[in-house]
Structure 1
Amino acid sequence: MSAGTGAVTAAAATDAPLAFPGAQGWAARTPGGRGGRIIRVTSLAAEGPGSFAEAVNAKGPRTVVFEVGGVIDLGMKELRINEPFLTIAGQTAPAPGITIIKGGLTIAAHDVIVRHLRVRPGDGHRPKRSGDIDAITAVRGARDVIVDHCSLSWATDENLSASSTRFLGEGEKGWMEAASRRITYSHNIIAEGLANATHAKGEHSKGSLIHDHVNDVLIVGNLYAHNYERNPLFKGGARGQVLNNLIYNPGQRAMHYNLIAEEWQGHAYSRGQMVARGNVLRAGISTEPLALFMAGGSGDIDVYFDDNLAVDRIGQPLPQQGRYTTAPISIDAIKRAPALPFGVTLLPSAKVQDAVIADVGATPWNRDPIDRRIVADVVEGRGVIIDSQDEVGGYPQYALTRKAFVEAEWHLDTMEPRTSYPRGEPLR
C-alpha cells in the first residue's frame, strides 16, 4: 500500500528506534528532535524570549519542553514550523497543560512530532467569511510527521489536515513525493469544527482533509465529534488507512472520497485508496441521512472495508456505503486485506468506543473541562454542530502555572516520563 516516496530516511529505516513507545505507522521511527537541544518554554506570550514560537523557529534538532502551563493566544495567526527535526512535548507542561487559542500550527518540515497540545483557533470574534485557520495542518512536502494525543477543536477550516499542491513534480510519482506523506494522526480529539463562522465559503465544520496525492497516512484511534463533514475526507489519489476511530454526530458525511474534476483539468485522474477497518460511527442530533463511507466527485478509488460499525441514534444499522455523485466512478474492493501499518494492533469495532474514550486527547489522565464535556457528550449522545466557541462556553481562561523541567525525570530520547504523567487535581 505504500507509495514510492523517495530515499529511505530514519523514519522509514526498520532498524531505527521508535519515536516513542506505541508510535505507529509509516512515521513511527521519525527521530523528531532526538539528540538535539532541549529548549524550555518559559512564557505564554505569542512571541519573544522564552515563547513557544521562539522555540519552534529555532534551527537544528530540538525538543520543546514547557516550564509553564496555561493559554497561548496567537492573535488569529498561524505558527509555521519550517525547521525539521522537532519534538513538541506538551506532556511536560504543568497542569493545566498547554492550550493554544486564536491560531494554529502549520507543519512545513520533515521529522516533526507534536504531542499533548490543545489547539483551539475559534472565530476570534471576527466577521463572517473573514478568513480561516486550521488547528494543525501538514502542508506540501511535510513528511515523517506524527500528531499524537492532541485536542483539536473550533477550527474555521479543518481541525487536522494533510495537504499538497496537487500537481507539483513530474507525473503521479512526483505528485505523491511532493505531497505531505508518511503521516500518523493518532489518539486525537478532532471536534466541533465551526460551521457558519469565518470561512470564505460559508459553512465549514470539517474534521480532516487528506488532500490530493497525500500518501502513507495513518489515522488511528481518534475521536471525531460534531464535524459536519470530513471525518475524514480523502481527495483525489490520496492513499492511507483509517483504523479504529470513533465518529460521533457527523453532519452530512462521515468518511468520504472526492476527486473534484474542475481541479484536475488537463491531468489524468489518479486512483485513490482507502482502507477502513474497525471504525465506529454513531449518529447524533446533527446527523443527516448518510452512510459510513460516501464517494463523490469524478475519480475512482480502491477500498478495503472490514468490521466497521455504523448505527443511528437508537442503534439501528446505517448503510456502509453511499454516493453523492452521478459520475460513473468505480469503487473497487481490494480482495485481500492490506498489511496493517507498523505498530498497529487492530481492535474489533465492539471495543473501539471504550478504548478511544479512555485514551484520547491531550491529557487523558486529567482532561480539561472542554475535553471532558466533549467526551461526556459523546458517551451520552448529546451535543450539536456549532457556529462559534461562544455557544459552548467560549475560550478557556486558565491561570498561568510554573514548574521547572527536570531532565532526570524524563527519558529524553522518547520524552516519556520515568514514572507517570503528573495527574494532580481535576481541572475546574
Structure 2
Amino acid sequence: MALFAGAFFACAATAFAAPADPTHGGEGGRIVRVTTLAKDGPGSLAAALATKGKRVIVFEVGGVIDLGRSTLEITEPFATIAGQTAPSPGITIIRGGIDLKSHDIVLSHLRIMTGVDGQPKLSGWEADAFSTVAAYNVVVEHCSFFWAIDENMSASGPRFAGETVADWRRNTSHDILFRENIAAEGLADASHPKGEHSKGSLVHDNTTHITFYRNLWAHNMERSPLVKGGAQVLMINNMIYDPGHRAVHYNLMNLEWAGHDYVTGEITAVGNLMRAGNATAPGLPFLMLGGDGDLAYYGKDNKSVDRWGNPAPMFGRYGVTKARLIEKDSPMASLDGYAILPADQLETSLLASVGARPWDRAPDDIRMLFFVAEGRGEILDDEKVVGGYPHSAPTRAPFVEKDWNMATMTPRSGVYPGQKTGAQEKLSARDAAMRAAPRP
C-alpha cells in the first residue's frame, strides 16, 4: 500500500478543500529563522515563538528538539510555524509538548512525541502533546502527536470565565481548526496522577467552533474526541482506529457544573469512520453519552465497524443519568465549502495524506499508518515498547525565500525538502534485500 504519492499530496490542497481558515497566522510578517535544535536560547524555536509581531517561522535545521520534560508555550499572536520548510527529517519535539495560549496561529508539519520518559507511575508528569488554552483563530494542520500523558490534541481553557454563556465562550478556546493530523498512542498506565490516561482529544466545556477535518485518532483508550458541556464541534471525514473503551463521547458533568445552568452541547458529524482494533471493547458504539447535560446531534454517513468489518452500534451511553441525545434534522455547523468523501471511501485517502510531512515520513508515522492499514497495534503504557524516542542526526539547509510561495508556504518547484517518491515503508535489512531488484 502506498502511504504517500507525490501527485496526491501536490493536489491535496485543492482535492480536499475547506472554507476559509479562521486565520492566516503570520502571513505577510517578517521571517524568523530557527537555526538550532536547542530547547531555548538564540536561534531556537522557543525564541522564535516569543518574538513579538507578525512573523513566519521557518527552519534551517532538522532533527530533534528535546524539551527535557517541559512544555513549550506560545503566548505571542500572529505566527505561522512552517515545519515543512525544515530539511529532512523535519522537526520532532520530544519529552514535552506545546500549550498554545494566544491567537492567530498556524502550526504545520511538526511531530510531537511526549512520552513518559521513565517517570514512575502516578508520579505527576502529565503533559499534553498539544493543547490550546483559551486560544482562538488557530489552524493546526499536518502534525503528528504521539505518546501524550494527558491528551494528544486538544482545545481547552476555563469553563466559566465571565458572567454569561457568551462570556464563557468568548474567554475559552474558540474557532480552532484541526486538519490532517495524527493523534496516536496516548499512554495509558504511565505517570498521570489519575492513573490510566490514554486520551486522544479533549474539547473542553463551552469551547465553540471547534472543527476536526480529516484527522486520524489511533490507539487511544478514550476521547476521540471527548466533547464537554456546552461545546460546539464539527467532525468531517475523520477516522478513529482501535479506540479502547470510548470513541466519540459527550459529558456535561454535574460535579463540574454545580451552581451553573446547563448548556446543551452540539456535535455535527459527517462522513466519519470508526474501525475497531485489538484493544476495542466488544460492541463499542461510535458515540456515547454520559453526564447530565443534553447533546444536540446531527449525523450523516458515519460508519462504525468491528474488527471484522461488521456494523457496530452508532449510539450508547455510560452512566444512568438524565442526559438526552437530541437528534437534529440538519447540521448545526455549516458544511459549505468542504470537500467531503463518503465514509466508505475515506480510509485510503486519509492514510495517504494525514500527519506531518507525508512526502518525508518519520519511522513512527509509517509504523502507525501501516498498523492502521493492517489492523495491527495496541494501546501503550510506555514509548519504549515501540522503540522509544527518535535520535536522528541534525541536518542543516538555508531557507531561501524566493523558492517558496510565502502566502501558501509551499515550494514554488512543487518539491518539498526531503521529498520521496513511491511507497514509504520502514524495512529491515533482510526485507530490503529481498525486495531489491534481482541480479541479471
* TM-score (structure 1 length as normaliser): 0.93
Task: Out of 99-108 and 30-39, give the one that drifted further.
Answer: 30-39
Match of 1:97 in 2: 90
1:327 paired residue among 312, 321, 325: 321
Report the CA distance between 1:419 and its aligned residue: 2.1
Shift of 1:414: 2.4
| Distance in 2 between residues matched to 1:212 and 1:154, nearest whole Å | 24
Q: Does 2:417 match 1:422? A: yes
Instruction: Give 3-state SS (helix, strand or coil) of 1:354's partner.
Output: helix
Where does residue 114 of structure 2 map in the other structure? 121
Contact 1:24 1:184 (8 Å CA) reproduced: no
Distance in 2 (CA, whole Å) between partners of 1:150 and 1:427 is 19
SS at match of 1:103: strand
Counterparts in 2 of 1:20-169, with a 5 A limit?
24=18, 28-130=21-123, 131-140=125-134, 142-169=135-162
User: 1:250 — aligned with what?
Assistant: 243
Name the SS of the counterpart of 2:376 in structure 1: coil
* Structure 2: unaligned runs, 5 residues or longer: 1-12, 427-440
Matched, 1:409 2:403: yes
Cα RMSD over matched residues?
1.5
User: Shift of the alpha carbon at 1:128?
Assistant: 1.4
Structure 1 CA distance for aligned equivalents of residues 410 and 203 of structure 2: 29
Equivalent of 1:314 in 308, 316, 334:
308
Matched ranges for 1:141-220 at <5 A:
142-220=135-213
How far residue 355 of structure 1 moved from its aligned partner, in angstroms, is 1.3
- Of 253, 278, 283, which residue of structure 2 is paired with 1:285? 278
CA drift at 1:413: 2.1
CA contact (8 A) 1:25 1:184 kept: no
Tell me the distance in 1 between the aligned counterparts of 2:82 and 2:419. Answer: 18
Q: Tell me, in whole angstroms, the C-alpha distance in 1 between the residues paired with 2:417 and 2:105.
A: 24
Offset at residue 338 of structure 1 (A): 3.9
Deviations 1:368-421 (A, max 9, x none): 110000000000000000001001010000010011000011111221221222
- Once the two structures are superposed, what CA deviation does each residue of 1:27-70 show, in whole Å capped at 9, x if it has no partner? x0412011211011010001111111110111111111000000
Residue number in structure 2 paired with 1:385: 379
Q: Which residue of 1 aligns with 2:360?
A: 366
Identical columns (%)? 50
Contact in 2 for aligned 1:278/1:309 (Cα 8 Å):
yes
**Whole-angstrom distance in 1 between the partners of 2:26 and 2:286:** 38
Instruction: Give the distance between the partners of 1:191 and 1:337, measured in 2 at CA.
Output: 28
Summarize the Cα distance change of 1:69–1:190 in structure 2 as closer, same or farther, 3 Å threshold: same
Q: Does structure 2 retain, via aligned residues, the 8 Å contact 1:25–1:182?
A: no
Given the superposition, is the C-alpha separation of residues 81 and 342 from structure 1 closer, same or farther in structure 2, using an over 3 Å criterion?
A: farther
Work out the CA distance in 2 between the residues paired with 1:136 and 1:25: 24
What one-letter code is carried by the residue in structure 2 that aligns with 1:419? S
Corresponding residue number in structure 2 for 1:11? none
Structure-to-structure mapping, 1:347-362, within 5 angstroms: 347-362=341-356
SS of the residue corresponding to residue 53 of structure 2 reads: coil
Check conservation: 2:22, 2:138, Cα contact below 8 A.
no
Q: Which blocks of at least 5 consecutive residues in structure 1 are unaligned? A: 1-19
SS in 2 for 1:53: helix
- Are the equivalent residues in 1 in contact too, given 2:221–2:245 (CA < 8 A)? yes
The letter of the residue matching 2:244 is G
